[in-house]
Amino acid sequence: MNKELEHYSHKFTEESSIIKLEYERIKNLLSKIPKSKKILEVGCANGRILNNIKSQFKVGIDIILYPLNKIKANTIRGSISNLPFRKNCYDLIICSEVLEHLDKITFEKSLKELARVSSKFILVSVPFKENLEAKYGKCKKCGNVFHVFLHKRNFNRNGMLSLFNDFKLVKTYFHGKKYQYPDIFRRLKRMTNNFFRTNNVVCPNCGVENACQKINLINKFISLLEELYKYIFVFDKIRREYPSWIICLYKKEKK
């Protein structure tokens, strides 16, 4: 299995509880779904969104096979860059936390596919203004440096305006709140060979599980400095806060 696919398979077959922030994001996204008869979720994973959509005709598609047996809807294994559906097949397509994982070629193909298959709406959710390097981890086995969530691109407000040909951005919503630390802390971590760490990560290079290096005392000390800075310099904290996610609803323009 492709190492990146192994990462996602491992992530979504884990019986781990959903964190509060993620639950709130999904709840917010669900509240933004326009009235639609036929709904397709692209990148449905284990059904965290699809299972909560109230529609008689809903379908999920994902490139990973394993999570699909948990979904209370029809599911198909397939790729976002080559959707096995005819033109204008669905009233609404939901694409949540998917686009940031795609390389340039796949990304461009996927945008065209989403626009081709949707007859009316596309609802997209992605991380907002993400600092990719802040989430770089280092594999404890092979030394590979990679984004621990395998994100390959970031998005801002302007970049979301014209994602899809023949579709107009009609609604924009923001969710969550995050703090952008001054760049000096990132530099300190790199100088001391310290990287971001989280659990249940598969290295996309060698495939080892729980790949991230352990946090050492220097990393803990720098993290403490970060928190102290955030609470001491209150005005700078306010200046550096911005939403965690952006949710955009696109509507097909009439020709």
pLDDT tens for each residue of 112-161? 999 999 999 999 999 999 989 888 989 989 999 999 999 999 999 999 99
Please tell me whether the overall predicted TM-score, pTM, comes out greater than 0.85 for this model: yes
pLDDT band for 72, please (50, 70, 90 cuts).
Answer: confident
Which tokens go with 177? 């709140």
CA distances from 16 to 12, 46, 147, 149 (A): 9, 12, 21, 16
Q: What are the residue boundaries of the structural domains of the chain, listed by start?
A: 3-252
Question: Which of 3.30.70.1450, 2.60.40.10, 3.40.640.10, 3.40.50.150 would CATH assign to domain 3-252?
Answer: 3.40.50.150
Residue 244 or 194, more confident: 244
pLDDT score, position 177: 86
In the chain, the N- to C-terminal Cα span, in Å, equals 44
